């Protein structure tokens, strides 16, 4: 610890170090720690009329958290959010793995640059606008239905927006970059000769991926899955804009609670969502046998 | 176990490239042979190896292994195994897993794989290393693991892409003899590519020299290559040579009388160059000595000593003759050669059969 500070002084100088300590400390304190603590405090208190706040009934309790177990609708939405986020993550992984491999190991030079720009350009547009675009594509009289009818695949327009499929499609699209870049970074550092060597030793492409590429890209896959899952589970715009009334997302339940002035309940659910994401991180680290240190790289 | 590789008028041009990386290479590598392709970097020798391995397909020509055309057969289906320049061991696998990877692919049971890996580790003198991580091995040990991994699939032909270039000098020399030993023990056909002529001459049964143009200049045993280079490129590239421009005064059978700025010389004329032809004559530094008078040697050139460099076992002397022609002479440090000083006037001599006449033009009678 001592050498850590000595090192820091040497690198930044005393003034620089003071500045960095104060700014980082203030950021940690005011932007992360205090808001979280306030939220947890809110989540542990019952919803009371204003005059009773601070009174004998205003005590810490886990009642708000228990609602998740007693309210069947909320519990169902919570589980559905987890499940759907897992599906979003899987779909994004399935789409992004080949894209990342192609970018990292197959193409190079100018074409790689163009493909990268092609991936990034859609993200210059605001997320809401992109979701509205999906709304138009997936609408009953939308482009996709018209195309499918024109090609004769279907006679009647399909209702893409019933259930969760539109939400999942929209999210998988929205979070592609968050999956592609960790995967690309991880795969990029793989020596091409290892692919050649495996092929030369008689391996099929499937086995090369299973034995060489995936083990090498594990940290990237873990990071991509964690980011996508957290973004999906915490998303509110996509389910609101693309979801049907029946496909409520857990974030919408939280939002409704805050809207209806039940901040305590909303804070409890928000804490649960944060905990869920934390659990997911550790599950992913376990599944991929990746340490936190590797993840940081 | 051993198989022949027939490289039949193979040319290769990469898509989008104007020039051929490999131009009309034609050679038949015999079963069980240690064959090297020697050439400067960028001469297309790696391309040639990748063509044999099946990573790329030739633009023209055919590659046959045991008489079977390899076109359309991928690297995973060819009876070849390659050792890469950077070895390309799998860092996330143990030594045994690396070696047994080719067997795993072929569905060999775990117990058999383990046994085979241990036997191969024995073969490359690394017993008891099966459970180690690749990162725990030294450079030479990794080298051996790469060889064992390639041999595990019992290839007909082993392709080696400058595998020794990353090692330090001492280890490199040691691995040369090790490679040769392993080749003899297994009887597998080795195709080795290198830019290091010492390596090529030292290990190979035959060497094919490639020029920058991607052409195969000459295929011969190491001693023939050194003593009887067939082209100017080979004479220049293999070993050290003194080259000087001459014109043929007279053709006398396999010999020729040459006109030079420093007098008439006599040399061998394997290409049968006729009188009046311009050509290049070559003489090796070790074939030159200081002589007392013109009767002591076939060829006789008066020179001035420019500088000397002492290299222990021998002394390299740079001399200057008429017409600003430099000669490099190598004297053995055994006390038999006269001690020279810079600026001294001496006469050097060399034998006519050590003087080789070559030209890049059309060859007749060669």
Which residues in B lie closer than 8 A to residue A207 (C-beta atoms)? 105
Counting residues of chain A whose pLDDT is more than 70, the rounded percentage is 97
Taking the Cβ of residue B284 and every Cβ of chain A, the question of whether any pair is shorter than 8 Å is answered with no
Cα–Cα distance, B84 to B93 (Å, whole number): 17
Among B217, B233, B249, identify where a domain stops.
B233
Q: What is the pLDDT of residues A203-225, one digit of tens each?
A: 999 999 999 999 999 999 999 99
Are residues B197 and B276 located together in one domain of the fold?
Answer: no
Cβ B315 vs Cβ B308: under 8 Å:
yes
CB neighbourhood size of B327 (10 A): 20
On whether the CB atoms of residues B359 and B280 are closer than 8 A, the answer is: yes
- Identify the residue among B84, B106, B166 best suited for mutation to test binding to A, counting A beta carbons within 10 A and taking the highest: B84
Q: Are B33 and B65 in contact (CB under 8 A)?
A: no
User: Where a domain ends, among B233, B268, B288?
Assistant: B233
* Number of domain units in chain B: 2
Find residues 99-138 of chain B whose CB sits inside 8 Å of chain A: 101-102, 104-106
Residues B225 and B278 in one domain: no
d(CA B247, CA B108): 67
Does residue B121 share a domain with residue B68? yes
Which among A236, A257, A250, A202 is positioned nearest to A39, based on CA atoms? Answer: A257
What are the DSSP calls for B155-209, one per residue?
-SEEEEESTTTTS-HHHHHHHHHHHHHHHHHH--EEEEEES-HHHHHHH-SEEEE
pLDDT for A81:
92
Q: Which residues contact B328 (CB under 8 A, 6 or more apart)?
A: B240, B242, B285, B288, B316, B317, B318, B319
Residues ≥6 apart with Cβ < 8 Å to B347 = B290, B291, B292, B293, B294, B300, B301, B302, B303
Residue B88 is nearest to which of A194, A202, A203, comparing CB atoms?
Answer: A194
**DSSP state letter for B245:** E
What is the arithmetic mean of pLDDT over A85-104? 95
Specify whether B145 is located in the same domain as B212: yes
Residues B324 and B268 in one domain: yes
Q: Tell me what the mean pLDDT of segment A45-55 comes to.
A: 82
Do B152 and B49 have their domain in common? yes
- C-alpha–C-alpha distance, residues A195 and A212, integer Å: 7
The confidence score (pLDDT) of residue A1 equals 59
Residue A297 clears pLDDT 70, i.e. is over it: no
Q: What pLDDT, on the 0 to 100 scale, is given for residue B279?
A: 92
For residue B92, give the nearest of A193, A201, A216 by CB distance.
A216
Domain shared by B219 and B245, yes or no: no
Q: Does the beta-carbon distance from A200 to B53 stay under 8 Å?
A: yes
Instruction: Say if B366 falls within a structural domain.
Output: no
Which of B233, B268, B286 represents a domain boundary (last residue)?
Answer: B233
Q: Which domains, ranges and CATH numbers included, belong to chain A?
A: 65-296 (1.10.3720.10)
Query: What's the mean pLDDT in A136-142?
Result: 86
Give φ, ψ of A259 to 5 degrees: -65, -40
**Residue-level pLDDT at A2:** 66
10-residue mean pLDDT profile of chain B (366 residues): values are 83 89 93 94 90 94 92 92 93 94 93 92 87 90 92 92 84 87 90 92 94 92 94 93 92 90 90 90 93 82 92 92 91 86 91 91 46
Nearest CA in chain B to A195: B88
Q: Scanning the structure block, which residue is given the tokens 């939280």?
A: A254
Render pLDDT for A251-261 as a digit per residue (tens, 0 to 9).
999 999 999 88
Check CB contact under 8 Å for B90 and A201.
no
- Find the residue in A nearest to B157 (Cα): A200
Residues B224 and B295 in one domain: no
Please answer yes or no on whether A197 and B88 come within 8 Å at the CB atom: yes
CB spacing of A200 vs B80 below 8 angstroms: yes
Rounded to a whole number, what is the distance in Å from the CA of B82 to chain A's nearest CA? 7
Cα separation of B329 and B319, whole Å? 8
B24 in a structural domain: yes
For the cut 80, the answer to whether the pLDDT of residue A264 exceeds it is yes
- The CB density around residue B131, as the number of other CB atoms within 10 Å, is 10
Domain-embedded: residue B218: yes
**What's the confidence (pLDDT) of residue B2?**
56
Cβ distance of B76 and A211 shorter than 8 Å:
no
Whether B256 is in a domain gets the answer yes
Tokens of B130: 């099966």
Cβ atoms of B28 and B4 within 8 Å: the answer is yes
Residues of A in contact with B106 (CB under 8 A): 202
At A103-123, the pLDDT tens digits run 999 988 888 999 999 988 888
CB A291 within 8 A of CB A285: yes
Same domain as B213, residue B98: yes
State the smallest CA–CA distance between residue A193 and chain B in angstroms: 6
Domain check: are B318 and B266 in the same one? yes
The yes-or-no verdict on residue A186 having pLDDT over 90 is yes
Of A201, A203, A215, the CB nearest to B81: A201
Q: Which residue of B has its CA nearest to A217?
A: B92
Q: What is the CATH number of the domain that holds B107?
A: 3.40.50.300
What pLDDT score does B1 carry? Answer: 47
> Hey, what long-range contacts does A135-142 have (CB within 8 A, 24 or more apart)?
A135/A241, A135/A242, A138/A166, A138/A169, A138/A242
Task: Tally DSSP H helices, then E strands, for chain A.
Answer: 16, 0
Distance CA B182, CA B127 (A): 15
Which domain covers residue B76, as residue numbers?
5-233
Subunit contact B74:A199, Cβ cutoff 8 A: yes
- Which value does ipTM take for this structure? 0.81
**Nearest-Cα residue of chain A relative to residue B97:** A211
Is residue B364, in this structure, part of any structural domain at all? no
- Indicate whether B365 belongs to any domain: no
- Computed over every residue of chain A, the mean pLDDT equals 89
DSSP state of A152: T
B55 touches A: beta carbon within 8 Å: yes
Residue that the structure tokens 């163009």 belong to: A114
Q: CA-to-CA distance for B299 and B152, rounded, in angstroms? A: 56
Rg (CA), chain B: 25
Residue B148: predicted pLDDT: 92
Q: Label residue A125 by pLDDT band (50, 70, 90).
A: confident
Is B36:B199 a contact under the CB 8 Å cutoff?
yes
CATH number for the domain spanning B245: value is 2.40.50.100
Q: What angle in degrees, to the nearest 10, is found between the helix axes of A72-101 and A165-174?
A: 40
| Burial class for A150, CB neighbours closer than 10 Å (0-12, 13-18, 19+) | exposed
B222 and B255 assigned to the same domain: no
Please list every residue in chain B whose beta carbon sits closer than 8 Å to the beta carbon of residue A193: 84-86, 88
Residue B41 counted as domain residue: yes
Nearest CB to B105 within list A194, A202, A215: A202
Residue B96 and residue B63 share a domain: yes
């Amino acid at each position: 610890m001592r050498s850590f500070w000595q090192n820091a002084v040497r690198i930044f100088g005393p003034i620089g170090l003071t500045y960095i300590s104060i700014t980082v400390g203030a950021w940690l304190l005011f932007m992360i720690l205090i808001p979280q603590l306030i939220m947890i405090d809110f989540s542990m208190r019952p919803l009371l009329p204003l005059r009773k706040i601070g009174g004998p009934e205003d005590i810490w309790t886990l009642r708000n958290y228990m609602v998740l177990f007693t309210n069947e609708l909320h519990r169902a939405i919570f589980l559905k959010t987890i499940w759907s986020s897992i599906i979003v993550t899987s779909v994004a992984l399935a789409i992004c793995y080949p894209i990342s491999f192609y970018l990292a190991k197959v193409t190079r030079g100018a074409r790689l640059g163009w493909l990268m720009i092609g991936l990034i350009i859609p993200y210059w547009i605001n997320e809401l606008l992109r979701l509205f675009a999906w709304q138009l594509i997936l609408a009953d009289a939308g482009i996709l239905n018209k195309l499918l009818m024109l090609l004769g695949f279907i006679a009647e327009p399909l209702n893409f927006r019933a259930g969760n499929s539109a939400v999942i499609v929209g999210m998988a699209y929205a979070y592609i970059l968050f999956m592609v870049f960790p995967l690309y970074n991880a795969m990029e550092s793989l020596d091409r000769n290892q692919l050649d060597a495996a092929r030369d030793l008689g391996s099929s492409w499937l086995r090369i991926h299973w034995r060489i590429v995936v083990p090498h890209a594990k940290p990237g896959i873990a990071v991509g899955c964690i980011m996508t899952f957290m973004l999906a589970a915490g998303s509110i715009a996509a389910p609101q804009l693309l979801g049907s009334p029946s496909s409520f997302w857990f974030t919408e339940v939280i939002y409704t609670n805050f809207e209806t002035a039940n901040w305590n309940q909303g804070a409890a659910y928000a804490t649960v969502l944060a905990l869920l994401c934390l659990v997911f991180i550790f599950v992913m680290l376990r599944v991929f046998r990746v340490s936190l240190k590797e993840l940081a790289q | 176990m051993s198989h022949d590789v027939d490289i039949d008028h193979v040319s290769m041009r990469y898509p989008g490239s104007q020039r051929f990386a490999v131009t009309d290479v034609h050679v038949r590598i015999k079963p069980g042979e240690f064959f090297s392709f020697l050439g400067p970097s960028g001469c297309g020798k790696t391309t040639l190896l990748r063509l044999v391995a099946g990573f790329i397909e030739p633009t023209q020509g055919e590659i046959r292994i045991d008489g079977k055309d390899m076109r359309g057969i991928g690297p995973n289906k060819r009876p070849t195994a390659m050792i890469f320049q950077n070895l390309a061991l799998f860092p996330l696998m143990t030594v045994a897993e690396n070696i047994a990877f080719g067997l795993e692919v072929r569905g060999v049971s775990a117990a058999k794989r383990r046994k085979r890996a241990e036997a191969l580790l024995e073969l490359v003198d690394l017993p008891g290393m099966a459970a180690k991580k690749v990162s725990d091995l030294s450079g030479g040990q990794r080298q051996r693991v790469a060889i064992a991994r390639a041999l595990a699939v019992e290839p007909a032909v082993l392709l080696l892409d400058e595998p020794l270039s990353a090692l330090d000098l001492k280890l490199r020399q040691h691995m040369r003899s090790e490679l040769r030993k392993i080749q003899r023990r297994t009887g597998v056909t080795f195709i080795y590519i290198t830019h290091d002529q010492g390596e090529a001459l030292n290990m190979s049964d035959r060497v094919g020299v490639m020029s920058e143009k991607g052409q195969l200049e000459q295929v011969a045993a190491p001693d023939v290559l050194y003593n009887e280079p067939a082209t100017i490129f080979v004479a220049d590239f293999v070993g050290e040579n003194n080259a000087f421009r001459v014109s043929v005064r007279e053709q006398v059978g396999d010999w020729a009388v040459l006109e030079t700025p420093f007098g008439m010389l006599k040399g061998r004329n394997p290409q049968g160059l006729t009188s009046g032809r311009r050509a290049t004559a070559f003489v090796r530094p070790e074939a030159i000595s200081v002589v007392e008078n013109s009767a002591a040697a076939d060829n006789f050139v008066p020179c001035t000593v420019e500088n000397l460099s002492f290299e222990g076992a021998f002394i390299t002397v740079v001399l200057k003759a008429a017409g600003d022609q430099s000669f490099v002479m190598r004297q053995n440090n055994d006390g038999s050669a006269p001690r020279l000083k810079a600026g001294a006037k001496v006469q050097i001599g060399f034998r006519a059969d050590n003087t080789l006449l070559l030209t890049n033009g059309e060859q007749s009678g060669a």
